[in-house]
């Protein structure tokens, strides 16, 4: 007999044998139902399940292991300790369908539970939070839980609207236009509002929308109709609007950069997503989810060790979930075919720097900095990183590449310049190592020649 709840579908045997792990996971999933329909069973059971649904076989074992079947929806999760953070994180990540929220922190779970209740209505929603915290994922969650789930979900990034684009063009993008409405309008276009008719329109980074366009957006929200450019009659639309902002909109209103009437029209039900460092229990499940996203199907999926999880939890995550994704992708590259991601595979986006106290003594590295790729391997020469930072600037892409270069160059130096030995220690092929070294040189990062 299966245990059917608002969360996981757990077989009786799995619930009995894996009780500590299953009970925690089911309580989390059941709080917002993101993984409802996921089937969990004991690995020794012979079960039949819908191949379109996610199924996870659980097994207590002497070592941790995560295996994904070629189809991508069947998992085998072997774990040592059902009370460990890694086992719970791996189960939550496996259970979540692609594109759905992955969460375990009480703050995130409360937001998701509230979002599920909001989804039942058609009121506008304003989601506030720093860049990279998952506002679009939350918006999609609201859409998928609403009566509009089978209708379009259209996402617009208002920051991507070019400042130099004429106002008529911006208006046409949102509300559509008739043929011949302006120079170059060789055919009519329905615009984003009409494309989302019956569904949901996400206006991301709404604070970046030109103020001249905000008045027309307000009218569309109030009247439930749009006037395509060049038309004389408005067109009715049934659209649920979700707006996201990474700025303080009340302050933007005070400074005259955002219309007060539009703000109050959107702010019917505000939701707030905190920075990743404010919801630490989300970090491990998100890390496993990112790993599953980026490990090609058919390839071995490494386990994230408890020590690596502890290291991730100590970081300040200024780049939030996007930075975590960078770190996980980098760790997968450095781990190679290793069965576990270890602390030496974790390289953060910021270069490491030691903190000295007032007496000149060296203290621990600052929180949020790079952890050395391997405690036994000396760091890359400081002048290489410093020079490249000065030459490349502080763009995130440059910082990421320099951090990766630092890890690879440190290993190459420790191996006496031998590319074969360095590639073996990094868990990558020599060809991949040569490619990375060449890309560093092209980016202007100083790379000493290595021997085979």
* CA dihedral (242, 246, 251, 252) positive or negative: negative
Q: How is the chain split into domains, by residue range?
A: 2-101, 106-276, 302-452
Q: Which two tokens stand for residue 240?
A: 């649920």
User: What pLDDT sits at residue 30?
Assistant: 85
- What is the Cα Rg of the chain in Å? 25
User: What pLDDT sits at residue 448?
Assistant: 60
Contact 158, 204 (CB under 8 A): yes
In the chain, what's the furthest Cα-to-Cα distance?
76
For every residue of 253-281, DSSP letters joined together read HHTTSS-HHHHHHHTTEEEE---GGG-GG
User: pLDDT tens digit string along 34-63?
Assistant: 655 789 999 888 777 777 789 999 999 999
Q: Does residue 162 or residue 313 have the better pLDDT?
A: 313
What share of the chain in percent tops pLDDT 90? 56
Residue 355: is its pLDDT beyond 90? no
Residue 32: is its pLDDT beyond 90? no
User: What pLDDT sits at residue 420?
Assistant: 79
Q: Which two tokens stand for residue 398?
A: 């440059």
* CA dihedral (400, 86, 275, 148) positive or negative: positive
Which residues neighbour 39 within 8 Å (Cβ) at sequence distance 6 or greater?
8, 9, 11, 47, 49, 50, 53, 54, 55, 56
User: What pLDDT sits at residue 358?
Assistant: 42
Residue 259: is its pLDDT beyond 80? yes
Contact 415, 450 (CB under 8 A): no
Mean pLDDT of 134-160: 94
- Using pLDDT thresholds of 50, 70 and 90, give the confidence band for residue 99: confident
Q: Does residue 110 or residue 350 have the better pLDDT?
A: 110
Mean pLDDT of 264-277: 94
User: What pLDDT sits at residue 419?
Assistant: 81
Q: Which two tokens stand for residue 13?
A: 């045997």
* CA dihedral (409, 411, 414, 417) positive or negative: negative
Contact 17, 82 (CB under 8 A): no
Mean pLDDT of 382-390: 41
**d(Cα 67, Cα 70) in Å, to the nearest integer?**
10
The answer to which of 3-7, 114-118, 264-268, 402-406 has the lowest mean pLDDT is: 3-7
**d(Cα 50, Cα 55) in Å, to the nearest integer?**
9
The structure's pTM equals 0.74
User: What pLDDT sits at residue 382?
Assistant: 36
Q: What's the mean per-residue pLDDT of the chain?
A: 83
- Using pLDDT thresholds of 50, 70 and 90, give the confidence band for residue 196: very high
- Please name every residue paired with 244 in a beta bridge, in sequence order, or none if there are none: 127
- Using pLDDT thresholds of 50, 70 and 90, give the confidence band for residue 384: very low
User: What pLDDT sits at residue 370?
Assistant: 41
User: What pLDDT sits at residue 364?
Assistant: 41
Q: Kindly report the CA angle at 443 between 442 and 447, in degrees rounded to 5?
A: 75
Residue 302: is its pLDDT beyond 60? yes
Looking at domain 106-276, its CATH superfamily turns out to be P-loop containing nucleotide triphosphate hydrolases (3.40.50.300)
Question: Can you tell me which residue has the tokens 């929200």?
Answer: 221
Q: Which two tokens stand for residue 87?
A: 């086992």
User: What pLDDT sits at residue 34?
Assistant: 60
The answer to which of 84-88, 113-117, 166-170, 434-438 has the lowest mean pLDDT is: 434-438
User: pLDDT tens digit string along 391-427?
Assistant: 444 555 455 556 677 788 888 888 888 887 887 777 7
Bridge pairing between strands 240-245 and 125-128: parallel
């Amino acid at each position: 007999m299966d245990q059917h709840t608002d969360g996981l579908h757990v077989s009786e045997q799995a619930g009995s044998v894996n009780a500590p792990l299953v009970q925690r996971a089911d309580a989390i999933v059941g709080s917002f139902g993101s993984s409802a329909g996921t089937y969990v069973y004991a690995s020794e059971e012979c079960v039949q399940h819908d191949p379109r649904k996610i199924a996870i076989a659980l097994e207590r074992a002497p070592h941790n292991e995560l295996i994904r079947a070629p189809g991508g929806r069947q998992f085998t999760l072997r774990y040592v300790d059902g009370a460990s953070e890694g086992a719970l994180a791996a189960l939550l990540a496996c259970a979540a369908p692609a594109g759905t929220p992955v969460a375990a922190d009480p703050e995130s779970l409360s937001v998701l539970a509230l979002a599920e209740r909001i989804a039942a209505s058609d009121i506008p929603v304003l989601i506030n939070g720093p860049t990279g915290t998952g506002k679009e994922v939350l918006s999609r969650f609201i859409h998928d839980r609403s009566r509009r789930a089978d209708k379009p979900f259209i996402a617009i990034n208002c920051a991507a609207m070019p400042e130099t684009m004429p106002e008529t063009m911006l208006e046409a993008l949102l509300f559509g236009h008739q043929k011949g409405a302006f120079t170059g309008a060789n055919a009519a276009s329905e615009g984003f509002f009409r494309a989302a008719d019956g569904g949901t329109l996400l206006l991301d980074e709404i604070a970046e929308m030109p103020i001249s366009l905000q008045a027309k957006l307000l009218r569309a929200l109030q009247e439930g109709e749009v006037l395509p450019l060049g038309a004389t009659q408005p067109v009715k639309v049934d659209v649920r609007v979700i707006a996201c902002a990474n700025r303080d909109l009340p302050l933007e209103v005070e400074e005259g950069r955002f219309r007060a009437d539009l703000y109050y029209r959107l702010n019917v039900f505000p939701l707030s997503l905190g920075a990743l460092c404010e919801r630490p229990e989300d970090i491990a499940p998100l890390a496993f989810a990112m790993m599953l996203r980026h490990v090609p199907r058919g390839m071995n999926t490494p386990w994230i060790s408890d020590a690596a999880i502890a290291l991730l939890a100590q970081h300040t995550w200024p780049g939030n979930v996007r930075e975590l994704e960078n770190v996980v992708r980098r760790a997968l590259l450095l781990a190679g075919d290793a069965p576990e991601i270890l602390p030496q595979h974790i390289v953060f986006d910021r270069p490491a720097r030691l903190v000295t106290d007032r007496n000149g003594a060296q203290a621990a590295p600052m929180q949020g900095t790079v952890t050395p790729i391997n405690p036994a391997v000396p760091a890359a020469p400081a002048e290489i990183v410093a020079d490249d930072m000065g030459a490349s600037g502080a763009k995130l892409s440059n910082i990421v590449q320099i951090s990766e270069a630092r890890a690879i160059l440190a290993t190459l130096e420790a191996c006496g310049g031998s590319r074969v030995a360095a590639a073996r220690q990094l868990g990558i092929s020599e060809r991949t190592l040569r490619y990375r070294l060449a890309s560093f040189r092209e980016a202007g990062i100083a790379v000493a020649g290595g021997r085979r």
